[in-house]
Every structure is written in C-alpha cells, then in structure tokens.
Amino acid sequence: MRTVFITGASSGFGAAIARRFAARGDRVIAAARRAERLAALADELGPDLLLPLTLDVRDRAGVERTAAALPPAFAEVDILVNNAGFATGGPFYESDPERELEQVRVLVEAPVSLISAYAPHMVKRRSGAILNVASTAAFQPLPYSAGYSAAKAYVLAFSEAIHWELRGHGVTVTALCPGPVKTDFWEIANWQVSSGQSFERALPSPAMITPEQAAKAGVDGLASGSRVVVPGLPMRAAMEASRLIPHAIKLPAIAWAMRRR
C-alpha cells in the first residue's frame, strides 16, 4: 500500500485526486487549510485510507514539523502531489503586493520545499512519484494574470527539468497542465474578463473539464511516466496550435480577452 501526500486536497480538484488514489487502495495524506472540508472527506473515505491535515503550505516551518510528526503508517511518502493554489487577476500595478507574494509562496515555494524534503528519500529507495499541478497558463504569459501565469510557468519548467534528472533513479515527475476545471477556484479568484463574466463562464463549454476528468488524466499520466499531461483533446489541440504563434501576436489578443471592461 502506497502513501500519497496531496496539498490543496479539501475540495475540487485536490479532493478528486484523493478519491482516485484511495479507490486504488492507497493511503492519502490530505493537507489543506479548510478543516471542515477535510473532515468531510475523511468521513467519506475512512480513517484507514485518509489522514486529514489542517496545513497552510505557506508556512514552511509548519510543513516541516507536520511531515516529521506523521503517524508511522503514513510516514513514508511514496507519491507527492503539489496541488495547492489560487490565482490573482487584474492589472499587476493595482494588485495587493502581499497577495502576489502569497501566490508565489503557494505556487512556487511550497512545491520546491516539499520536493526538496521528499525527493532525496525517493531517490534513496529508487521508487517514488511527484505530480505537480501546473496549468495551460504556463504555456504563455497572461496579461492581467501576470503573477499566476509566471508562477505556473516556473512549475512547468521545474517539473520538466527534474523529470529528466530523476528518471534514472526510479522516480517519476509529471506536470499536469489542465485548462479551466469546474471548481470554486475561479469564484475564489474573482477572475473576470473582458465581457464582465467570470473566467469560466466566458469560455466555450468544450474547453471546460470536470475535476474528476482532470484527476484521472493526472493520475494516469503519473502512472505511465508522462512528463507533461494536458487533459482534454480540445485543450491539447489549442495548446499545440498556440506553440506556433509568436508571443508578439498572442499577447495583444490575450490582453484584450483578459482585460476587464
């Protein structure tokens, strides 16, 4: 039985990943800030398969203390899933500087810290897997969501690099790059676009996928040793096409679509 450590596991995409691993018979350490949602997930999956941890990944010292105090049955992490995240939106010069820095801590510093903690043990055992949740936002700069797209670009580049570093050591690293997923992520972000609609309502429905679809793609991609996974055929096709378009052409179009009116 493997042990899976998942951040941002209290709802939406993270909870869907937890359910998928638990359905395979894996033990899950579900870490998030919202204790009541974690408790509900623990009741659903049962105490033998899920250990809820109320944890803020921005607190590096707290993460290290928690990892050192895990119960023996959960102490050896076989799979690490870096999923915790949020997004800022709007002109960067108008944004809250502390909120932008929090975004870097959650999306960049936390995965680096956790991988630094667990990867050496995986290499020593010559067994392990890391799933880093990036985004299709990683493939191009997003004006009016500059910090978010930059952070996800870091996650993607970092994941691809260490995928090659660790592949000869029995450790798999996969970057999962979903497009929009039907969760409360966009509501929390309050991300509106040019039409005045929230981000997810402005997108054509074929571009949207469910948390379960995204979770399946990520877990299956990790199991097969994939370097990068983009769930959904329409989004994969769009990302492949976008690689052929220079940023000088894409940036004005993205800025027009993303800018609030």
Tens-place pLDDT, residues 11-26? 888 999 999 999 999 9
pLDDT band, very low/low/confident/very high, at 75 (cuts 50, 70, 90): confident
How many angstroms separate the CA atoms of 216 and 211, rounded? 9
Q: Report the candidate in 218, 161, 208 with the shortest Cα–Cα distance to residue 9.
A: 218
pLDDT score at 31 = 93
How many angstroms separate the CA atoms of 29 and 72, rounded? 12
Q: Report the candidate in 73, 78, 71, 65 with the shortest Cα–Cα distance to residue 6.
A: 78
Q: Report the candidate in 29, 96, 106 with the shortest Cα–Cα distance to residue 66.
A: 29
pLDDT score at 58 = 83
Which residue numbers are catalytic? 148
The answer to whether residue 47 scores a pLDDT higher than 70 is: yes
Q: What is the mean pLDDT of residues 99-105?
A: 96
CA angle in degrees (0–180, nearest 5) for 160-164-167: 125
Element (H, E) at 128: strand 128-133
Pick the CATH number of 3-258 from 3.30.390.30, 3.40.50.10680, 3.40.50.300, 3.40.50.720: 3.40.50.720
pLDDT band, very low/low/confident/very high, at 206 (cuts 50, 70, 90): low
What is the pTM for the complete model shown? 0.89
Q: Does residue 87 sit in helix, strand or coil? A: coil
Element (H, E) at 171: strand 171-176
Number of residues assigned to the chain: 261
pLDDT score at 133 = 97
Which tokens sit at 16?
């869907």
Q: Which runs of consecutive H residues, i.e. helices, occur in 126-176? A: 146-166
How many angstroms separate the CA atoms of 52 and 45, rounded? 11
The answer to whether residue 163 scores a pLDDT higher than 90 is: yes
Q: What is the mean pLDDT of residues 169-197?
A: 73
